[in-house]
Each structure stands twice: as C-alpha cells, then as structure tokens.
Amino acid sequence: MTISDIKNAKIKAWIEEIEKLCTPDALHICDGTKEEYDTLMKKCVDSGLATPLKKKPNSFLFRSLPSDVARVEARTFIASRKEEDAGPTNHWIDPVELKKTMTKLYTGCMKGRTMYVIPYSMGPVGSPISKNGIEITDSEYVVCNMIIMTRVGKKVLDAIGPDGDFVPCLHSVGKPLAEGESDHGIWPCADMENKYISQFPEEHTIWSYGSGYGGNALLGKKCFALRIATVLARDEGWLAEHMLILKLTNPKGEVKYVTGAFPSACGKTNLAMLIPKIPGWKVETIGDDIAWMKFGSDGRLYAINPEAGFFGVAPGTSEKSNKNALEAARENAIFTNCALTEDGDIWWEGIGYPAKGDLIDWKGIKRPALPKDKSPKGEEFAHPNARFTAPANQCPCIAPEWEDPKGVPISAFLFGGRRPSTVPLVHQARDWNHGVFLGSIVGSEVTAAVISDQVGQVRRDPFAMLPFCGYNMGDYFQHWINIGKKSTADKLPKIFYVNWFRKDDDGNFMWPGYGDNSRVLAWIFDRCDGKDNAVDTAIGYMPKPGAINTEGLSEQDKANIPAITSVDKEGWLKEIKDIRENHYPKFGKHLPKELADQLDILENNLKNM
C-alpha cells in the first residue's frame, strides 16, 4: 500500500505531519500480510536484533537492553487538561508542556529509519464493540508484534472509511541514525529520562517515545485497549477492563462466559487457559488479558477480546501451570528476553525442566545451565518479565466464538488477588454495588520474599486497573456503579471474589490451584443459575459445606476447605481499618458514597457476627 491508497483525509494529513516532524528515510504503509511480516523479520535477523529459533518454526528471539525490559510506570502519563481528572493513582503532566517536550524529542527522531504506518483494529474488524487505531512507529519489532496482537491492514482502513474515527498512536524508539550508521545488533531505545508513554484522554491520542518494549511500544495494548478505552467507555457507557474471558461448559453441555480481573502474578492467563481437574467440565479461552463489554438489546453485557494474540509472561509458564500457552507459542511466535539453548530453543525459569549444556542468557552472555529450572534472584537466565507473543488462534483451547463480532454474554465477574490470609477461597457479592466494592479493594499482600518491612501490608490494585485507568479512579468506581443502573439484577453478571493463595501458619499453600480452580468455577457456574449451594455470611455468599466438589483432591486439601471457606472476623476488621485509613481517603470527594456505605455495611455485619 501507498499513502495514495488512504482515502481518509484526516489520516493522510496526520501521516504527512508526522513524516515532516520525524524525517524518516522511508515511509511504509503496513498491510499485515505474511509476506510483510517475513520481510520485516528478515530485516531484524540481518541486523542482528533477532535470532531464528531452530526448534520453533518461524519463531524468533529478541534481546532488549537492560534499561528497556518492562512497562515504565514512572514514565507513563495521563496528560488530562486538569490534574484532578487524572486522579491520585496516575502520573500527570500538563498536556501543553508535555507536547512541547515531546515534539522537541520527535523532531528528526526517525532519521536513518523507516516510518511504518500500522492501521489496526482492536477486536474483530467491523464489530460494533471494536475500535480502530493507526500506530506510526520506526520499529520493525513493533510492527511484527502488532501484526500478531491486532488485526492489521487495508480492511481496517476500509472499516474506518473516508471520515471514520480512529485513535492516533505515535511511537518512536528515540534513536535516530546518522548516515551509514546502524544499530549493530543493539536494541534501540532512549535513556530513561527521555522515555515518555503519554495518553491525552480528551483527544483520544497516544504519544510514546524512547522505549521499544511491550506495552510502552505496542500501543494497541495497554495504552489504547485500557487507558484510552476506559475514557471512551466512560463517555459511551460501556466497560474496558483488564480481564480474561473464558467459556465454561458443564457436563450437561450448558455454557457460561466468565471474566476475571487479577493483579500481576495472580494467575490470570493460567485461569483463562485452565485444564479442569473435575470430569466433564471444559474451559475454553476467549481472551487472556483485556475485555471490552457493551450492553446488548437484551440488557446483558457482551464481551469481546480486543486482541488477536497473547503477549504473555514467559517465566513460570510450564506444562503444569499452562500447557495451552506453551502450545500457542509452539510456532510463529516472538520471544523477548528469554534464554537461548545450545540446540536453538528458548528456556526460562519455571519452564518445568532444567536446560542442558550452556545457555545464552537474556543479556547475551553464555553461561553453563543449572541442574534445575530455578536461578538465584538477580542471576536469572531469562528476565523475570521475559515475554512470548503468539497468535491466539494457535491456542489449543481457543473457543470457536472468540472472534464473534457480537461478543459473548457474560454471566460472572471474578476479582482476586494474592492474599495469604483473611480473604476466603471464594465469596459472592450480594448485589451489584457490593460487587463494585469488592473490585475497589482488590490487592495483594506483601510477603517476606518481597520487602521485609512491609510484610502483611496490602498493595491495593482496584479492579487490577491501577496502572491502566485513563482517568480519576474514583470516577471510574462511579462509572461501574452507573453501569449497574443500566440493566436489571437478573441480567447483570454476578460478582465474585476468589483467592487461590491462602497459606497456613507454616507458609504452605492451602489450596492446590491451577486445574483445581475449576472446582470453584463449577460452584460459580451453579450460583449464576441460582442454585441453593451457598450460605449468607457477614462478607457475602459463601459455599455451603460440601458444595465444592472435592473428588480427586488430596486428604490435606480436603481438610483445608473449612478454613478457607470461613469468615476471618478479626482479619476483615483489620481490612476495613486499612481501607478506611489508607485506601479510600486518597480518592477524596471522587469516592462514590455507595462504596463508603458498603464499607459501613460490612463493618456492621462483622460486629454482629
């Protein structure tokens, strides 16, 4: 494609403006074809940035610089016109000043490089729930990842049409090249102080500079799909959430669709691709990370996965924890900051088996492998945030309707965090506002392995959206409450809080997790059908004795169930104190009264136990 093929005058004018500002050596309009992908990947291999993997067909390994290995939250900004609109959980910079700073950085920043224009759709092209974006970038790595992660090409331009809306996304690695200069196989990026990942919510615009990695550079991911999409969802009356979507089928063949929001390291992708331990049940994947939901004419919320691929954390992914994810990345995949084996395969800590011989670690250093799949902290062969990018349609458990443009009707929302104490295995909200309250207090306890002087403190991550909400999070809570007024209780999803991470006094996990979490999903499935398998407690509905299927569990796991399905009165009273003193006050006048009321109700219930 050429720029003359673009019929939308606004898109064309924007491309010409950025080309003039960034002064690339060449311009390329992406079509998303296999031929284009192969050509760009060959360019990466020839330049020394990518290594072909002998053991994985059409798959490649990239190594970034140590300064560019993850999302940089300290350099991520919500540049709303008013600081108050960004709220207490976001970094704010005045948008006028930020644009001045970044325009200066963008000036001439693509010299020696090609400027790629990526027309992409978040969600199936043409779906009433989907949105379109145009990302401009000077990174072949970004283009190849975006081709896997989104729907790219002329069909998107056709869907936008001559006067349709799109989200403009500008990205540069921030490393211009002098004439005849190359990257010499070194990952291009700017110094930390010149990294900016900026969202302009009123304009629905994204500017990113200085990082080539992940969510900082693949602007359809967190920047668009959450930070800008939350603003669009607020204004248009829908939900853009950091949630998996799974299809759950019971032994009778009945189906329900469930979403779940979990902070990092709480098993979201594992749950989305779970292999049930109880006979006759089946889990299939719609999405592993993001859900966009709009009301259908029947008053139910319908969800799509706006992504077309998985950008998963590699370390810890194994046959035991997530066999389906490994299968999804068996070919046509991109690996970033993993270790390379002698026989041309990738390896990471927690993969489930030791490597043989020597490994080339994520920094490019050859070292002898260890006799196990763990490494001392700070000496990992794969970076702890190493990633795999894989097409979703390669996942063995992908649901047939994962690309249905209508979306799938959601029956339940799950919230959860890593809580060694207090929070039970599962409990259900009594109503919508109680469920919003549960979402608003999500968090994970700090353990001794992290920061010793904060043991027992809870790091709150409301709705697992702390780094991703594009506006004031207090107003985001209010938006959730408002969504509940758009339909009736029988049509809205039921809301549950789960916790796979309870520990005993000796620090041992009290629940086996992984495939055994299907036992909890089965109870939730029946609750959505109104089955009388719960008791009303001070904190919400909890499983009746015997309601959790224990067939096949170890005797110890069975013995733990009463403890992890009971109400810890003292623990919850401490929880309330922490919410009152440390969590809710930060939202000030933006905290909805309904949530303060829910806190009072919970406290009264506990005191009357």
Tokens 């409301």 belong to 462
The question of whether 144 is a catalytic residue gets the answer no
Q: In the structure encoding, which two tokens stand for residue 108, read together?
A: 């001439």
Q: How far is the C-alpha of 290 from the C-alpha of 304, rounded, in Å? A: 9
Q: In the structure encoding, which two tokens stand for residue 327, read together?
A: 């299968």
Q: How far is the C-alpha of 77 from the C-alpha of 83, rounded, in Å? A: 11
Q: In the structure encoding, which two tokens stand for residue 19, read together?
A: 């080309």
Using CA atoms, how far residue 451 sits from 169, 324, 447, in Å, is 37, 33, 7
Using CA atoms, how far residue 282 sits from 212, 272, 412, 516, in Å, is 38, 11, 16, 12
Q: In the structure encoding, which two tokens stand for residue 62, read together?
A: 């990239």
499 by DSSP, 3-state: which? Answer: coil
451 by DSSP, 3-state: which? Answer: coil
The burial of 159, by beta-carbon neighbours within 10 Å (0-12 exposed, 13-18 middle, 19 or more buried), is given as middle
DSSP string, 165-185: --EEEEEE-S----TT---TT
Sheet containing strand 358-360, strands side by side: 346-347, 339-341, 358-360, 366-368
Q: How far is the C-alpha of 14 from the C-alpha of 16, rounded, in Å? A: 5
Tokens 């509940």 belong to 484
Q: How far is the C-alpha of 518 from the C-alpha of 530, rounded, in Å? A: 18
**Residue 4 identity (one-letter amino acid):** S
Of 266, 338, 397, 469, which residue is the catalytic one?
266
Tokens 């719960």 belong to 534
Residues noted as catalytic = 266
